[in-house]
Structure 1
Amino acid sequence: MELTQIPPAYSATKSMTTTKQATEASGSTTLSSDFETFLRMLTVQMQNQDPLNPVDSSDYAVQLATFSSVEQQVLTNDLLSSLSSALTGGSMQKLSGWIGMEALARAPVEFAGSPVNLRPEFASGADAAVLVVRDASGATVQRLTLDLSEDSAQWAGVDDSGTLYPAGIYRFDVESYQNDSLVDTTIAPVFSRIEEARISGDVVLLRLSDGTELESSLVTGLRASD
């Protein structure tokens, strides 16, 4: 898509596995040990009860049921934890193939002299659109008209005189207009190279070439890096 300069006056990311296995084994051993301890205590209680005032059998049943419930909850929590780890690990294995590719996401991008490829999105019913280029401080450095019939665009990174803009982080907003009135402003999805993927809690973070980090779920497209 060809972008046309417009004036400012326009409106408005083997040891771990071993540790995990050791932790799970330790948890199972602890649970088994706790149950054996409980049974020993219950046996001692029965052996030393007052023969003239024995403990009601229903009390033992309640104690057994309570411990069984706690035991089941612990096992359930362990299972859920293992399942979560397996799912996250699977995501990491899949996303490792993303490193070195270019991800499409609504995020700032690093400009280093090469054109930036965008996928602008327009509001329904818009009859005009403007690409607003902002620097790292948020200041507007350029405004360009967009062709509504095109689903892609490219920012050359040069001003009116053909001078290259300084290298740095830039953000691209798309302003949609209808009858000369601003109806919507969105961040334009931009392609950025993926440098790293890492786990943070229960999500996978991707670090882009400009240092920006975002959740893998925010990526809406992938392509091979040039």
Structure 2
Amino acid sequence: MNIDPSVLNNVNTQSGGPKLNQGQSGELRESFLTMLITQLQNQDPMDPMKNKDMTAQLAQINTVSGIEQLNDTLNGITQQVDASQMLQASGLIGNAVLVPGNNVKVSTGEEGKTHTTPFGIELESPASRVEVTLTNQSGEVVATREIKNVKAGVESFSWDGQTDGKEAAPDGAYNVSLNAFNADGEEMPSTALNYALVQGVTPATANEDVRLDLGGVYGQVAMNDIKQIL
């Protein structure tokens, strides 16, 4: 009497099959033991069951129990990780962060002072210089800057809101383009980052991890999309 391997596949949730509930697995073990006892009681005295056959059959049912316990343990760990991520994400609500993007916003305060949102860059290795180009929504260049000796990793910067003509840029949204170069003048891979405000958190689902709601055009992002907390 051998247990069909498909039963093990059904128990193991990693295989994609449905998981047996506690009642079903209990019935499986009870049926197995009943059949094993019946087999021992009615075996041929001249040809009794060999020890290795009994061991193999017991190993099968133990495998089922072991997989169930492992799945329960993994489910517990997953729930703890999800809870930890949810707690960490909730702590970011109300904080400003840098995420992949190329937007900069300009606004004028009550005192007439120009305010701009930060922007940033992510580099795999240090850059000798980074060329910054800011354009309006029509694609017209309003300001250019050059930043020297930028370290590897994530660096944040701010624009003074002044155009190349030394005038205050009108309120509104602008796009920032970043081009990084090494000491040999060769262009390097880089990722532009923009400012966003964490407004809420969406719990993890079966298909997605915890998501952060940045509102507006930014929508929702994953935790690992946060490159820097400002």
The TM-score range, normalised by the shorter chain, is 0.5 to 0.7
Report the CA distance shift for 1:121/1:220 in structure 2 as closer, same or farther (over 3 A): closer
Q: What does 1:106-145 align with in structure 2 at a 5 Å threshold?
A: 106-109=100-103, 111=105, 113=107, 115-120=116-121, 124=126, 126=128, 128-133=129-134, 142=142, 144-145=144-145
Corresponding residue for residue 205 of structure 1? 211
- More displaced 10-residue stretch of structure 1: 106-115 or 211-220: 106-115
Q: What does 1:148-163 align with in structure 2 at a 5 Å threshold?
A: 148=148, 152-154=157-159, 156=161, 162=168
Which runs of 5 or more residues in structure 2 are unaligned? 1-19, 108-114, 151-155
Task: Kindly indicate whether residue 224 of structure 2 is the aligned counterpart of residue 222 of structure 1.
Answer: no
1:194 Cα offset (Å): 1.0
Corresponding residue for residue 15 of structure 2? none
Q: Using CA pairs under 8 Å that are at least 6 residues apart, name the structure with larger relative contact order, 1 or 2.
A: 1
Q: Distance in 1 between matches of 2:178 and 2:36?
A: 71
Q: Distance in 2 between matches of 1:73 and 1:140?
A: 62
Q: What does 1:36-51 align with in structure 2 at a 5 Å threshold?
A: 36-51=30-45
Q: Distance in 1 between matches of 2:210 and 2:135?
A: 28
1:75 Cα offset (Å): 1.2
Q: Which amino acid aligns with 2:148?
A: L
Report the CA distance shift for 1:178/1:35 in structure 2 as closer, same or farther (over 3 A): closer
Cα deviation per residue 1:36-70 (whole Å; 9 max; x = unaligned)? 22111212222333444433233122100122123
Report the CA distance shift for 1:129/1:101 in structure 2 as closer, same or farther (over 3 A): same
Q: What does 1:144-183 align with in structure 2 at a 5 Å threshold?
A: 144-148=144-148, 152-154=157-159, 156=161, 162=168, 164=170, 167=173, 172-177=176-181, 181-183=185-187
Corresponding residue for residue 17 of structure 1? none
Give the percent of matched residue pairs that are identical in Structure 1 and Structure 2: 19
State the TM-score, normalizing by the size of structure 1: 0.66
Report the CA distance shift for 1:28/1:90 in structure 2 as closer, same or farther (over 3 A): farther
Which runs of 5 or more residues in structure 1 are unaligned? 1-25
Aligned residues: 194
